[in-house]
């Protein structure tokens, strides 16, 4: 009993107050509930309190508004750490404008799976790029055939110089190449993400290029996310976490153009 008491006192010394048994998390953010001070010596709950005033106190119940009022801090002065994007992280951001941190343990497994599947994804991307090149050639010939039917020249000199039979045969050959590429790409796309979850695939991605709905919710409501609370131990309390650069579709081309200008 004495040992348990010392352990309780040790973890209570890390914070101004501990709240437990706060009912449903939606109630914690939207309703003003009664709060009880927990006396550890006799393991009883007693004395309904209107404020949190004891250093290292352990409380049951309460609400977000009560925490703000008792500690005299509001809005982005508070960092809320939660493990559910919908019931607590989004609620604390929308209703209270608190800073938010999402804990998602599955990120570690997904990261390991992404590392293991890196080589497979490179092969898949290479095949898709090959299909895009072949598909562009096919579309050029298709357009040339359409323009020729209206007695108009093709957009490229090579397609203009082809006769009708050569044009048709070239299109058939390119179509066969694309079909063979599809036979390789299809199974690879279906198996993408199986290293993480055989049924649902990746947690943070939808398909090969797009973000999942969960990822978009994280970007919208979570100021920062990580796999474990203990990851913050690697930084000081004064650390300023800055987001990575958000790239747009034309960024790669703009950087390439800037480099080419320097070379000239």
Q: For the domain that residue 59 is a member of, what is the CATH number?
A: 3.40.50.1000
Q: Indicate if 125 and 52 belong to the same structural domain.
A: no
Which of 181, 147, 188, 183 shows the shortest CA–CA distance to 164? 147
Point out the least confidently predicted range of 17-21, 31-35, 209-213, 260-264.
Answer: 260-264
Instruction: Please give the Cα distance from 211 to 73 (Å, whole number).
Output: 35
Instruction: Please give the Cα distance from 51 to 35 (Å, whole number).
Output: 8
Q: What angle do CA 58, 70, 14 make, to 5 degrees?
A: 40
Task: Inform me whether the pLDDT recorded for 64 exceeds 60.
Answer: yes
- Structural domains of the chain, count: 2
Point out the least confidently predicted range of 31-40, 87-96, 156-165, 214-223.
Answer: 31-40
List, in sequence order, the alpha helices (H) in 15-163.
25-30, 64-71, 90-96, 106-116, 118-149, 157-161
Instruction: Please give the Cα distance from 3 to 12 (Å, whole number).
Output: 14
Which of 212, 215, 220, 223 shows the shortest CA–CA distance to 81? 223
Q: Indicate if 79 and 124 belong to the same structural domain.
A: no
Q: Indicate if 96 and 13 belong to the same structural domain.
A: yes
pLDDT the model gives residue 132 = 94
- At 264, is the pLDDT very low, low, confident or very high (cuts 50, 70, 90)? very low
Both tokens of 88, joined, read 């607590």
How many of the other CB atoms lie within 10 Å of CB of 162? Answer: 18
Summarize the confidence of residues 29-51 as an average pLDDT.
Answer: 58
Q: Give me the percent of the chain exceeding a pLDDT of 90.
A: 31
Q: With contact defined as beta carbons under 8 Å apart, do 29 and 91 qualify? A: yes
- At 263, is the pLDDT very low, low, confident or very high (cuts 50, 70, 90)? very low
Q: Indicate if 31 and 95 belong to the same structural domain.
A: yes
Could you tell me the pTM of the whole model? 0.71
Domain span including residue 154:
118-191
Which strand (E) or helix (H) includes residue 100?
Answer: strand 99-103
Task: Inform me whether the pLDDT recorded for 257 exceeds 60.
Answer: no
pLDDT the model gives residue 231 = 93
Q: Indicate if 27 and 90 belong to the same structural domain.
A: yes
Average model confidence (pLDDT) for the chain? Answer: 79
């Amino acid at each position: 009993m004495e040992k348990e008491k010392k352990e309780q006192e040790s973890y209570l010394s890390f914070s101004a107050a501990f709240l437990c048994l706060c009912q449903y998390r939606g109630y914690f953010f939207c309703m003003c509930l009664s709060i009880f001070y927990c006396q550890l010596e006799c393991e009883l709950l007693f004395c309904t309190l209107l404020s949190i005033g004891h250093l290292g106190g352990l409380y049951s119940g309460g609400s977000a508004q009560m925490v703000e009022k008792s500690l005299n801090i509001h809005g982005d002065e508070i960092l809320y750490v939660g493990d559910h994007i919908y019931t607590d992280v989004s609620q604390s951001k929308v209703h209270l404008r608190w800073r938010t941190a999402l804990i998602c343990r599955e990120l570690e497994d997904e990261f390991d799976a992404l590392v293991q599947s890196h080589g497979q994804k490179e092969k898949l991307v290479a095949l898709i790029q090959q299909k895009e090149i072949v598909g562009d050639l096919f579309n050029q010939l298709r357009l040339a055939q359409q323009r020729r039917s209206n007695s108009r020249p093709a957009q490229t000199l090579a397609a203009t110089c082809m006769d009708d039979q050569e044009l048709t045969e070239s299109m058939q050959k390119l179509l066969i190449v694309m079909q063979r590429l599809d036979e390789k790409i299809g199974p690879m796309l279906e198996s993408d993400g199986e290293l993480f979850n055989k049924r649902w695939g990746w947690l943070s991605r939808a398909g090969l290029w797009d973000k999942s709905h969960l990822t978009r919710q994280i970007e919208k409501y979570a100021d920062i996310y990580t796999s474990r609370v203990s990851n913050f131990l690697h930084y000081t309390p004064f650390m300023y976490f800055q987001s990575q650069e958000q790239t747009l579709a034309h960024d790669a081309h703009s950087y390439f153009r800037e480099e080419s200008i320097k070379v000239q």
